[in-house]
């Protein structure tokens, strides 16, 4: 199974999968962080909007309160009350809407408190507006009622604000400082306006006690401390909000608080002056305006900072989201490219290599590649195919040639066998001759032979027998052998009965063509009536005579081969050939038979063999000679033709 | 087979380095001898002291060489071993070639002749 999965394709895909997983984990982690930031920022913006609405409501409510106070107390001739009322109503609506959109018991509670507050305010506002047209006594009564209502409303609003601030938790870095400054502004605003009313009341009532004066002076000290702290925090900041808060703070510290101190001092001295009070009231009004402007700037900047954070967060989400998509796209295209350009071509090459290895040359290599290595493989594949085709053609050609060689060899063998049969047909079979029995052992070395023999019986009972050995063997030697056979036999047939054997051979020698190879010859004439044999030896091993009583003797001492030299002379030798005697004619194939190391069988072994078996049955003699030669050569195929002829003298018929 | 040739006292001495002169080398042997004769060698000593066997084919090459030399040339053979001597005797070639025990005697014989 492991083998199936351990492919190039699977390895590459696994590699890509690992790389892809790692890249995706990194990118998705960053994306998750950005999304988490987004949730945080969104929540912060929602809380910010709620807090904002409640704070604005505080501002607007106090502003209306101040306007209403100024109108009812107759401090100013005309204050546009409708504007401040509209602003307050809008602030209530906004605060309720923001809080309503938020789930949670506290908020629902806050919403119902705000609703009741709005209704109560609306009733008092209407009453106050009506009282404005009445006498001063009515106005004072309306103002007292208004005052009483708002003095209970402010703590409720304060409580809601505190709950909102508590719910916001730890503000983020972007908004922390702004939030604390807003608290400062809100605090300054509340303290300043609250104290204003307290001081106004004290001024109206006149001659306050020391305790009350100390109480009236306390908020100024708190305000101074807070303003100093806020100023310290804003030294390094150069934003619009910082500028506004700095202005407001400086105004409170340098104008408002000194004017308030003067009013309180005069009150303590029991001689309050109208001019000081007017200056203080104007400063109070300006402080309220400056703090409102500062709050507006702070609110705007807080929103702006959150929006900036939000847009950065959107950019981050876009960036990481895009990176994830790009990564997936790159991964997909890398996988696609690798499969298309590398894996598929390699599989293509692999499949065709296997086909070529199976000698399937029908395979078509049509693919091309823009990658140099792959193209080189395709080219190599084409070369393999061409080589394969060439090899197959050569194999076919070789097989065809081999068939032809086998066929030719077969034909030649058949022809040689046919030739051998023709050649053998001219050889006489073993037979009885007048006064003798003729035996032949004939072992041609290559089917056709250079050895040949024949005999001619004369009318007077003499028989002339010849054995020929043409030098060399094979077809040419066989042809020469046949020619010499005919030449000698013709010479024997045409010779006069009185012609000596030496004369006949000399005649053949003289007529033998110079261009033909020579041959050796042993010509024997047996004369049973005389009990003798005559021999001419022509380059041939000597005639061997085995007398009836034992021994082996060579007859003659040599003579020139026939056809070697035209002037050659021959001599006839005579020996006894009595009944029981054997004459043996041998070609040199016997004595020159060589063993595997080139050693010759030799005369001595041959003579020894004849001593032992020469007088046995001729078949036994031939068998023992055959087996001795085979043993010597180690093979049944002799290098040279082997011919042994035996003439065995019989008891003459006429003797009985 | 290689046949080395040297000239000693105006006589060409040929020494085949083989131990057998048979059908496998007969053609080379014959061509070498005929080549020397055609280049004008008419007195030649063949040193067969290393040759233990001569077959009928090689004998044919010797006969061809003798015929090529004609009646004026002489082929002397030196150092024949017994088996070779016997072949020359059977074929009466000892009457065609002049046989000598060694090359020195053969050269002397040729110079005297």
pLDDT in tens, A433-443: 999 999 999 98
A468 and B CB contact within 8 Å: no
Give percent of chain A with pLDDT exceeding 70: 94
Q: What would the mean pLDDT of A531-559 be, rounded to a whole number?
A: 93
Of A473, A540, A558, the CB nearest to B89: A558
Assign domain A427-655 to its CATH architecture: 4-Layer Sandwich (3.60)
pLDDT band at A236 (very low <50, low <70, confident <90, very high): low
Number of alpha carbons in the 13 Å side-chain half-sphere of residue B39? 8
Low-confidence winner among A37-46, A435-444, A549-558, A607-616 (lowest mean pLDDT) = A37-46
| Number of helical (H) and strand (E) elements in chain A, helices listed first | 17, 11
B98 and A CB contact within 8 Å: no
Of B60, B67, B91, the CB nearest to A560: B91
Closest approach of chain A CAs to the CA of B91, in angstroms? 4
B68 and A CB contact within 8 Å: no
A199-235: string of b/e by CB count within 10 Å (b at 16+)? Answer: bbebbeeeebeeeebeebbebbeebeebbeebbebbe
Bridge partners of A647, per DSSP, are A438, A583
pLDDT averaged over every residue in chain A = 86
Complex confidence, ipTM: 0.88
Of B23, B57, B92, the CB nearest to A560: B92
Tell me the three state secondary structure of residue B12.
Answer: strand
Of A471, A558, A600, the CB nearest to B90: A558
Low-confidence winner among A277-286, A403-412, A435-444 (lowest mean pLDDT) = A277-286
pLDDT single digits (tens) A251-274 = 988 999 899 889 888 888 888 888
pLDDT at A103: 57
| Dist CA A185 CA A486 (whole Å) | 155
Can you give the C-alpha Rg of chain A in angstroms? 74
pLDDT single digits (tens) A139-164 = 888 888 888 898 888 888 888 877 77
B83 and A CB contact within 8 Å: yes
Domain ranges of chain A: 2-324, 359-425, 427-655
pTM over 0.80: no
A50 and B CB contact within 8 Å: no
Q: Which of A40-54, A182-196, A615-629 has the highest mean pLDDT?
A: A615-629
Backbone angles phi, psi at A556, to 5 degrees: 90, 160
Contact B58, B81 (CB under 8 A): no
Q: How far are the Cα atoms of A9, A12, A335, A356, A366 from residue A343, in angstroms, in the given order?
A: 6, 9, 10, 20, 17
Q: What would the mean pLDDT of B87-91 be, rounded to a whole number?
A: 91
Query: Who wins on pLDDT, A621 or A78?
Result: A621
| Dist CA A462 CA A529 (whole Å) | 8
Give percent of chain A with pLDDT exceeding 90: 38
Contact A185, A295 (CB under 8 A): yes
Please count the structural domains in chain B: 1
A653's tokens: 């018929």
* CB atoms A469 and B83 under 8 Å: no
Q: Is the pLDDT of residue A55 over 60?
A: yes
Residue B100: give its domain's CATH number.
3.30.750.24
| Dist CA B11 CA B44 (whole Å) | 6
Task: Find residues 40-59 of chain B whose CB sits inside 8 Å of chain A.
Answer: 53, 55-57, 59
pLDDT band at A174 (very low <50, low <70, confident <90, very high): low
Query: Residue A11 CB: number of other CB atoms within 10 A?
Result: 12
* CB atoms B90 and A518 under 8 Å: no
pLDDT at A329: 93
Q: Which of A445, A477, A509, A561 is the best substitution to test chain B (most B C-beta atoms within 10 A)?
A: A561
B66 and A CB contact within 8 Å: yes
Query: Residue A66 CB: number of other CB atoms within 10 A?
Result: 19
Closest approach of chain B CAs to the CA of A628, in angstroms? 21
Where does residue B70 fall: left (phi above 0), alpha (psi -120 to 50 degrees), or beta otherwise? left
Tell me the three state secondary structure of residue B5.
Answer: strand
Query: Residue A594 CB: number of other CB atoms within 10 A?
Result: 18
pLDDT at A234: 63
8-state DSSP, B10 = T
Low-confidence winner among A297-306, A586-595, B8-17 (lowest mean pLDDT) = A297-306
pLDDT at A172: 62
Closest approach of chain A CAs to the CA of B106, in angstroms? 23
* CB atoms A564 and B63 under 8 Å: yes
Alpha helices (H) in A206-273, listed in sequence order: 210-233, 240-251, 257-269
pLDDT at A170: 63
A565 and B CB contact within 8 Å: yes
Query: Who wins on pLDDT, A236 or A381?
Result: A381
pLDDT band at A26 (very low <50, low <70, confident <90, very high): very high
Contact A465, A455 (CB under 8 A): yes
Angle at which helix A274-337 crosses helix A257-269, to 10 degrees, equals 150
Structural domain of B15? 3-112
B73 and A CB contact within 8 Å: no
pLDDT at A653: 58
């Amino acid at each position: 199974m492991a083998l199936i999965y351990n492919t190039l394709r699977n390895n590459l895909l696994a590699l890509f999968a690992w790389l892809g997983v790692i890249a995706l984990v990194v990118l998705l982690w960053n994306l998750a962080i950005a999304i988490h930031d987004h949730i945080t920022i969104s929540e912060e913006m929602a809380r910010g909007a709620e807090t904002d609405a409640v704070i604005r409501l505080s501002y607007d409510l106090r502003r209306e309160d101040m306007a209403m106070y100024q109108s009812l107390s107759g401090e100013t001739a005309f204050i546009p009350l409708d504007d401040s009322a509209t602003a307050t109503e809008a602030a209530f609506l906004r605060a309720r809407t923001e809080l309503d959109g938020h789930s949670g018991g506290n908020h629902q509670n806050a919403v119902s408190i705000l609703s009741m507050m709005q209704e109560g305010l609306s009733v008092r506002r209407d009453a106050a507006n009506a009282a404005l047209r009445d006498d001063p006594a009515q106005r004072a009564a309306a103002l007292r009622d208004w005052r009483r209502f708002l003095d209970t409303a402010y703590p409720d609003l304060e409580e809601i604000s505190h709950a909102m601030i508590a719910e916001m938790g730890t503000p983020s870095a972007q908004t922390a400082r702004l939030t604390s400054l807003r608290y400062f502004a809100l605090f300054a605003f509340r303290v300043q306006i609250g104290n204003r009313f307290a001081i106004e009341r004290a001024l109206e009532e006149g001659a306050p006690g020391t305790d009350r004066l100390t109480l009236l002076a306390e908020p100024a000290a708190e305000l101074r401390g807070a303003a100093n702290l806020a100023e310290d925090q804003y030294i390094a900041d150069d934003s619009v909000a910082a500028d506004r808060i700095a202005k407001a703070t400086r105004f409170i510290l340098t104008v408002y608080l000194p004017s308030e101190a003067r009013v309180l001092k005069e009150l303590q001295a029991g001689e309050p002056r109208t001019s000081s009070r007017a200056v203080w009231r104007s400063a109070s009004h300006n402080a309220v305006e400056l703090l409102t402007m500062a709050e507006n700037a702070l609110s705007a900047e807080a929103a702006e900072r959150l929006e900036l954070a939000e847009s950065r967060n959107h950019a981050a989400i876009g960036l990481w989201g895009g990176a994830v998509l790009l990564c997936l796209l790159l991964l997909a295209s890398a996988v696609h490219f690798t499969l298309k350009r590398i894996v598929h071509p390699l599989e293509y090459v692999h499949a065709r290599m296997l086909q070529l290895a199976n000698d399937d040359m029908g395979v078509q290599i049509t693919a091309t590649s823009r990658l140099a290595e792959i193209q080189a493989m395709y080219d190599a594949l084409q070369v393999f195919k061409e080589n394969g085709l060439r090899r197959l053609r050569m194999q076919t050609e070789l097989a065809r040639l081999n068939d032809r060689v086998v066929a030719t060899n077969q034909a030649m063998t058949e022809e040689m066998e046919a030739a051998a049969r023709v050649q053998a047909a001219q050889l006489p079979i073993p037979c009885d001759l007048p006064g003798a029995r003729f035996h032949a052992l004939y072992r041609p070395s290559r089917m056709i032979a250079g050895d040949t023999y024949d005999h001619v019986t004369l009318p007077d009972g003499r028989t002339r027998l010849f054995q020929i050995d043409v030098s060399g063997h094979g077809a040419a030697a066989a042809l020469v052998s046949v020619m010499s056979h005919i030449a000698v036999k013709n010479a024997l047939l045409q010779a006069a009965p009185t012609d000596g054997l030496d004369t006949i051979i000399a005649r053949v020698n003289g007529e033998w063509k110079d261009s033909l190879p020579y041959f050796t010859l042993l010509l024997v004439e047996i004369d049973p009536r005389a009990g003798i044999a005559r021999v001419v030896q022509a380059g041939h091993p000597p005639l061997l005579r085995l007398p009836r009583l034992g021994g082996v003797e060579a007859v003659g001492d040599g003579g020139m081969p026939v056809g070697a030299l035209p002037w050659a002379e021959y001599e006839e030798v005579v020996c006894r050939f009595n009944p029981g005697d054997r004459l043996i004619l041998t070609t040199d194939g016997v004595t020159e038979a060589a063993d595997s190391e080139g050693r010759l069988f030799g005369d001595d072994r041959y003579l020894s063999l004849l001593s032992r078996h020469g007088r046995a049955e001729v078949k036994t003699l031939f068998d023992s000679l055959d087996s001795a030669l085979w043993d010597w050569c180690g093979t049944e195929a002799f290098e040279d033709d082997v011919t042994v002829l035996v003439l065995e003298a019989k008891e003459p018929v006429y003797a009985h | 087979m290689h046949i080395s040739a040297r000239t000693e006292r105006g006589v060409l001495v040929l020494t085949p380095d083989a131990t057998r002169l048979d059908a496998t080398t007969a053609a080379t042997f014959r061509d070498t001898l005929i080549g020397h004769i055609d280049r004008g060698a008419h007195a030649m000593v063949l040193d067969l002291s290393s040759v233990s066997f001569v077959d009928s084919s090689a004998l044919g090459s010797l006969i061809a060489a003798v015929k090529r030399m004609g009646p004026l040339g002489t082929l002397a053979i030196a150092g024949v071993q017994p088996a070779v001597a016997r072949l020359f005797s059977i074929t009466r070639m000892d009457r065609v070639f002049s046989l000598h025990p060694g090359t020195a005697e053969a050269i002397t014989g040729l110079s005297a002749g």
